């Protein structure tokens, strides 16, 4: 049985004061939580040190939203994998569609970042997904296949075992228009099939594949009950404790 992971991608939101408020609300709401699912928050870099202190004693884990493909050194403005690890990050989101779109990240670069994250012991949450144009031209499967092959290039089976994959159709991100549970599940099955072909069916069965794109309190349950959807990567709805908690609760119900 794959464990469900609910991760909040705060994006470029929440200064340190707002971070403190949101975490206080979340830890209060999660008082009776029994660890039935993994809960991760990914605040912006400037909030990570504070967030790490504030989640102590709770079951919330922490991730970053990006990192450099390089080790420490002369890379002005960048943050290394080791830096993230030493301030308490266990996860790092890599290859988010906003990084691909606005910062021109490619599968090749994302692949380098994945290798770097794994080398220090961070768990990458690797994002892939097609645009609306690609879906409408009927090439979703082709795009997903290219992305999976690109981001996993030269990774061993024991490395892939440590990854979390997030399927995030670009047209569903921040639009309020989620993929239907069936649409999402179909792509999740494809991703699992690809991992099966590239590695083994055993590994494919173990791989945690999250869905992301307008997941909210209303649609979480139906998405998370699909056979191949193992959690959610949540943007907008992770910025309010009530909405995020409702998604966590939906995951707990489905996991029962
Ligand atoms: P959204 O974002 O939930 O606001 O659509 C998801 C994401 O970008 O990870």
Confidence of residue 187 (pLDDT cuts 50, 70, 90): very high
What is the domain-level CATH number for residue 232? 3.20.20.70
| Shortest-distance Cα residue to atom 7 of ligand 1 | 235
**Ligand 1, from 100, 168, 179, 239: best to mutate by most atoms within 8 Å of Cβ?**
168
Looking from the CA of residue 175, the nearest atom of ligand 1 is 5
Residue 184 clears pLDDT 90, i.e. is over it:
yes
Torsion of CA 212, 213, 219, 223, to 10 degrees: -40
**pLDDT class of 252 with cuts at 50, 70, 90:** very high
Q: How many domains does the chain have?
A: 1
Task: Give percent of the chain above pLDDT 90.
Answer: 96
What integer pLDDT is reported at residue 1 of this predicted model?
A: 78
* pLDDT band at 34; cut points 50, 70, 90: confident
Tell me how far the alpha carbon of residue 40 lies from the centroid of ligand 1, in angstroms. 14
Q: Whose CA is nearest to atom 3 of ligand 1?
A: 235
Backbone angles phi, psi at 178, to 5 degrees: -80, 160
Task: Tell me which residue has its CA closest to atom 6 in ligand 1.
Answer: 235
* 168 classed as catalytic: yes
What's the pLDDT tens digit per position in 44-97? 999 999 999 999 999 999 999 999 999 999 999 999 999 999 999 999 999 999
Q: 193 falls in which pLDDT band (50, 70, 90)? A: very high
- 133 in catalytic set: no
In which domain, by residue range, is 234 found? 5-255
State whether the beta carbon of 95 lies less than 6 angstroms from ligand 1: no
Mean pLDDT, residues 193-209: 98
pLDDT average, residue stretch 236-244: 98
């Amino acid at each position: 049985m794959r464990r469900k992971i609910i991760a909040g991608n705060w994006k470029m939101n929440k200064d340190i004061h707002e971070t403190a408020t949101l975490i206080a609300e979340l830890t209060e709401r999660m008082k009776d939580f029994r660890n039935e699912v993994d809960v991760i928050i990914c605040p912006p870099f400037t909030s990570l040190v504070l967030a790490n202190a504030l989640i102590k004693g709770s079951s919330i884990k922490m991730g970053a939203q990006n990192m450099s493909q390089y080790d420490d050194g002369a890379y002005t403005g960048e943050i290394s994998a080791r830096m993230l690890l030493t301030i308490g990050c266990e996860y790092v989101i890599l290859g988010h569609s906003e990084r691909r779109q606005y910062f021109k990240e490619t599968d090749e670069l994302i692949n380098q970042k994945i290798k770097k994250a794994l080398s220090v012991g961070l768990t990458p949450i690797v994002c892939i997904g097609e645009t609306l144009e690609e879906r409408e031209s009927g090439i979703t499967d082709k795009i997903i296949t290219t992305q999976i092959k690109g981001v996993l290039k030269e990774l061993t089976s024991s490395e892939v075992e440590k990854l979390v994959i997030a399927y995030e159709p670009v047209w569903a991100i921040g639009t309020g228009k989620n993929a239907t549970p069936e649409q999402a599940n179909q792509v999740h099955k494809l991703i699992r099939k690809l991992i099966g072909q590239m590695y083994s069916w055993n590994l494919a069965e173990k791989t945690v594949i999250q869905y992301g794109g307008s997941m909210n309190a209303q649609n979480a349950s139906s998405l998370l009950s699909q056979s191949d959807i193992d959690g959610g990567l949540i943007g907008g709805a992770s910025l309010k404790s009530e909405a995020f908690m409702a998604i966590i609760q939906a995951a707990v119900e489905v996991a029962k």
